[in-house]
Chains A and B, each alone.
Chain A
Amino acid sequence: MDLNLLENERIPGVITTNLQQILNWGRKNSIWYMLFGIACCAIEGLMATGASRYDLDRFGMIFRASPRQSDLMIVAGTVNEKMAERVRRLYDQMAEPKWVMAMGACAISGGPYQGKYNVVDGVDRIIPVDIYVPGCPPRPETVIYGLMKLQEKIAREGLEKKLQQKARV
């Protein structure tokens, strides 16, 4: 772990670090994602990736069926106008700190349905997105790569940085 751990020279077995790093370490290794899928990407990104073959549990990631207990929202699929309100409400119900992954072409930009009568052109028009994973749909490896990038992002994050991000919304 890149925690800059310092072994205490006087008391063996005691290590020291700083609060920000230990918090980030805990957060990035226990990303609980919301059990929430809109379209076909949910089959790849939540079901296949979460199941035993690709196994998100080994990253400390388990799905939660409640937004109040989730840290990450994987927007997997086309967001249509009626769903947009619900997506926004689910996002608002999540507790800070929270992250959003736009998974697949539809969630990134509307994908093949961009500009159509009932489609939101990318979920970043409603909620702030931390990481974009392209593909139609992305393979589970791609999703895992995106999640590892998100872990790196969380590890870099400072306490004040997350607050800034909140202010930007």
Chain B
Amino acid sequence: MSVEKTEIIGLIREEFPHLNPEIRPQGEILVRVEKEELVKVARFLKENPRLAFTYYSFMTATDFPDRFELTTVVDALGRGTRGVTLWLKVALPKEGAEVDSLTGVWPGANWYEREAYDLFGIRFKGHPDLRRILLKEDFVGHPLRKDFVDARPPRERLIRER
């Protein structure tokens, strides 16, 4: 690895001086951004030829008592940065969580954003096809939210008589 992680952090700070990237214990670079500049930072990470975070690994959401947190994981495939993993974290409010879609930057974000919409109810502005992906279309609620209550009538446990 010819480009050191500190050097990558330096490049990010050069472009966005207010960001404060850190290195996680297992070696990933963690960048916390505001939701307004998420797409801007993402585009920089992907399109800067010295960084080239071109591989969208995955995205997931977490439900905290005061916020939702979206964690996007991208991997670098550029010359010299190959193998570096970067986490992009963005905090969203509990009520009406909405954020700009990253599908314009990484097309691979499409299904992950649909999943986050399906299970957490986070909306993605500019997503080409924001539908439920894992649950049925007529499902009510977003089950991975902590306050989710299954509205369906309780089913009796199947216990077969011996």
Binding site for B on A (CB under 8 A): 80-82, 109-110, 114-115, 117-118, 121-122
Determine if A81 and B158 form an interchain contact, defined as CB atoms under 8 angstroms apart: no
Contact residues on B (Cβ < 8 Å of other chain), bracket: 10 to 19
In the complex, what distance in Å separates the CA atom of A81 from the CA atom of B158?
A: 18
Which residues of B lie under 8 Å from residue A115 when comparing CB positions?
154-155, 157
Q: Which of B115-162 contact A (CB under 8 A)?
A: 134-136, 139, 143, 148, 150, 152, 154-155, 157-158
Determine if A118 and B158 form an interchain contact, defined as CB atoms under 8 angstroms apart: no
Determine if B157 and A118 form an interchain contact, defined as CB atoms under 8 angstroms apart: no
In the complex, what distance in Å separates the CA atom of A104 from the CA atom of B143?
A: 25
Which 6 pairs across A and B sit closest by C-beta, in order of nearness?
Answer: A117-B143, A82-B136, A117-B150, A109-B158, A81-B136, A115-B155
Determine if B135 and A82 form an interchain contact, defined as CB atoms under 8 angstroms apart: yes
Q: Is the interface of B mostly helix, strand, loop or mixed?
A: loop
Q: Is the interface of A mostly helix, strand, loop or mixed?
A: loop
B134 partner, pick from A82, A110, A114, A121, beta carbons under 8 A = A82
Residue of A81, A117, A118, A122 contacting most chain B CB atoms (<10 Å): A117
Determine if A122 and B134 form an interchain contact, defined as CB atoms under 8 angstroms apart: no
Contact with A along B87-106 (1 / 0, CB 8 A): 00000000000000000000
Which residues of B lie under 8 Å from residue A114 when comparing CB positions?
157-158
Which residues of A lie under 8 Å from residue B143 when comparing CB positions?
117-118
Determine if A121 and B155 form an interchain contact, defined as CB atoms under 8 angstroms apart: yes
Residue of A80, A109, A114, A118 contacting most chain B CB atoms (<10 Å): A118
Min CB distance B142 to A, Å, is 10
Which residues of B lie under 8 Å from residue A117 when comparing CB positions?
143, 148, 150, 152
In the complex, what distance in Å separates the CA atom of A17 from the CA atom of B156?
A: 49
B135 partner, pick from A81, A109, A121, A122, beta carbons under 8 A = A81
Q: In the complex, which residue of chain B has the Cβ closest to the Cβ of A119?
A: B155
Knowing A117-B143, A117-B150 are in contact, say whether A122-B158 is a contact too (CB < 8 A): yes
Determine if A118 and B135 form an interchain contact, defined as CB atoms under 8 angstroms apart: yes
In the complex, what distance in Å separates the CA atom of A73 from the CA atom of B136?
A: 23
Determine if A121 and B150 form an interchain contact, defined as CB atoms under 8 angstroms apart: no
Which residues of B lie under 8 Å from residue A121 when comparing CB positions?
155, 158
Q: In the complex, which residue of chain B has the Cβ closest to the Cβ of A114?
A: B157
Which residues of B lie under 8 Å from residue A109 when comparing CB positions?
158
In the complex, what distance in Å separates the CA atom of A109 from the CA atom of B157?
A: 9
Q: In the complex, which residue of chain A has the Cβ closest to the Cβ of B141?
A: A117
In the complex, what distance in Å separates the CA atom of A65 from the CA atom of B150?
A: 36
Min CB distance B91 to A, Å, is 26
Contact with A along B27-60 (1 / 0, CB 8 A): 0000000000000000000000000000000000
Which residues of A lie under 8 Å from residue B152 when comparing CB positions?
117
Q: In the complex, which residue of chain B has the Cβ closest to the Cβ of A110?
A: B158
Min CB distance B2 to A, Å, is 40
Which residues of B lie under 8 Å from residue A110 when comparing CB positions?
158
Which residues of A lie under 8 Å from residue B139 when comparing CB positions?
81, 118
